[in-house]
Each structure stands twice: as structure tokens, then as C-alpha cells.
């Protein structure tokens, strides 16, 4: 059965992998991006080559009006939304909390928490059967950092992802009776571009060997889990936070 999926931060990394895998199922995918239009349009081309339909939508997830417009554009192109992947997120260079300035903290929490809540709120408004939607699935992107704490590196990022865990649990209880499932994925050391943003491009490769599986994960491996949660195969799964961490 074809689905309509909106993925924030869909132009790179885990979001891009999930978008392409959704396309392989023949789904229609809206690929949100912040600034890299070229990467977003390349993702769209890959989705179409895989058999799906796709559009690219620029939006800042911290801007309420932009988030609403992003959902409007998705529905105008493809119809009612079946799934929302709350994936957009940022990390800053590694530092101890004592060395983090207010601007950094606001940037991380605005994107990773406020942005995620705005997206989830709009998805709830569009998808809830009691509000005229047809139900569906929300998949939030958390992180293993939420339970590990990321000391002396990214405690701000870790805290922001702890908020995603709480959002997932609470919203699953709110929306379950309204036909919407809400789950989260907690990636571990995944080999994506985000580590370069944190100042350590080889971080996943270096630390991945310390996991029980002895390697970092790939964006495709996380994408598979996301697409499963979007699919009808996970129809009795809600309120779950699934680790994709290689056992870390």
C-alpha cells in the first residue's frame, strides 16, 4: 500500500537513507532540507529512480510558519500524510558544559527540541482521526547519547535527545486513541556527516570498534528501522524507543 511520508532533514545521513528506502517501497516522500538544495534534489532523484515519488521542501524546523507551510506543501503534492519522520537535528563541536556558551545551547535546543516538538505537533494535527486525518505513524530520532550522557563532548545534544524520548512516550499515549502510533529510534555510532559537524569526522569509525558488534553502523541500517516503524508491519508498536547501536 502506497504511503505519503514527510522526513525532516531528509537530504543527508539517516534522513536521506530512510527517504530512499521509502522510495524503494513505492511511497511518496517529501524531503525537507534547511540549506543544501543540491543534496535534497539529489535525494529526490534517487527516490524517483527507486520507484517512488518525491519533492524537496526547504524549511527551517524552528520556524512555526515554515513548518506549517512544509506540511501544506506535502499534502498539496501527495494528499494526506501517513507518516512523519522527525529527523532534523544538529550537534556542535565537542566541549564540556562549562565551556558552552548560551548561543550554542540555544541553537542545539531550538533545533533538536523546539523543532521536533513543532513538527510532532503539526503531524498530530494533520494525522489524528479525531481531527479529520487518517491516522499513521510518527518516528522521532533520538540518540544513544540520551542514555549515555556524552560527557565532555555533547551533553547539550544528549539532553536534547532525552527530551525526544520523553516526547515519544507521552505523545504515544496522547495519540494512540486517535489512530497515530509514535515511536523513536536511538542510533548509536553511525557513520554519517553529523560527526564532522561535531568536529570529529572519524568518530564513528574510531569508537565503533568498541561496540559488541565491533564496527560503526550505517545510515541504511537505521533507515531500515525507520521504514519498518512507518510500515504496517509495526502496526502494534507504539511508545517504543528502539536502539540501533550495535549493542553500545
Q: How far apart are CA 226 and CA 221, in angstroms?
A: 9
Q: Which of 33, 117, 154, 157 is catalytic?
A: 157
User: Can you tell me which residue has the cell 527516490?
Assistant: 47
Does residue 105 contact residue 78 with C-beta atoms inside 8 Å? no
167: which residues sit within 8 A by CB, 6+ positions away? 116, 117, 120, 140
Question: DSSP for 61-100?
Answer: TT-HHHHHHHHHHHHHHHSS--EEEE----------GGG-
Does residue 33 have an active-site annotation?
Answer: no
236: which residues sit within 8 A by CB, 6+ positions away? none
Question: Which sequence positions are flagged as catalytic?
Answer: 157
Amino acid at each position: 500500500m502506497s504511503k505519503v511520508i514527510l522526513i525532516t532533514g531528509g537530504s543527508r545521513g539517516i534522513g536521506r537513507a530512510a527517504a530512499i528506502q521509502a522510495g524503494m517501497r513505492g511511497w511518496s516522500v517529501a524531503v525537507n532540507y534547511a540549506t543544501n538544495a543540491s543534496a535534497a534534489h539529489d535525494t529526490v532523484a534517487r527516490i524517483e529512480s527507486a520507484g517512488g515519488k518525491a519533492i524537496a521542501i526547504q524549511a527551517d524546523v524552528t520556524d512555526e510558519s515554515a513548518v506549517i507551510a512544509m506540511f501544506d506543501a506535502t499534502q498539496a503534492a501527495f494528499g494526506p500524510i501517513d507518516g512523519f519522520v522527525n529527523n532534523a537535528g544538529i550537534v556542535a563541536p565537542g566541549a564540556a558544559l562549562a565551556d558552552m556558551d548560551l548561543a550554542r545551547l540555544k541553537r542545539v535546543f531550538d533545533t533538536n527540541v523546539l523543532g521536533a516538538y513543532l513538527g510532532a505537533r503539526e503531524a498530530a494535527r494533520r494525522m489524528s482521526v479525531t481531527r479529520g486525518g487518517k491516522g499513521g505513524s510518527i518516528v522521532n530520532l533520538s540518540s544513544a547519547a540520551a542514555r549515555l550522557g556524552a560527557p565532555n563532548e555533547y551533553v547539550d545534544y544528549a539532553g536534547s535527545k532525552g527530551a525526544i524520548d520523553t516526547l515519544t512516550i507521552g505523545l504515544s499515549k496522547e495519540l494512540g486513541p486517535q489512530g497515530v502510533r509514535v515511536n523513536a529510534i536511538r542510533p548509536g555510532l553511525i557513520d554519517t556527516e553529523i560527526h564532522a559537524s561535531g568536529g570529529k569526522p572519524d568518530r564513528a569509525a574510531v569508537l565503533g570498534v568498541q561496540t559488541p558488534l565491533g564496527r560503526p553502523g550505517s545510515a541504511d541500517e537505521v533507515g531500515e528501522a525507520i521504514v519498518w516503524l512507518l510500515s504496517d508491519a509495526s502496526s502494534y508498536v507504539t511508545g517504543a524507543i528502539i536502539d540501533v547501536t550495535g549493542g553500545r
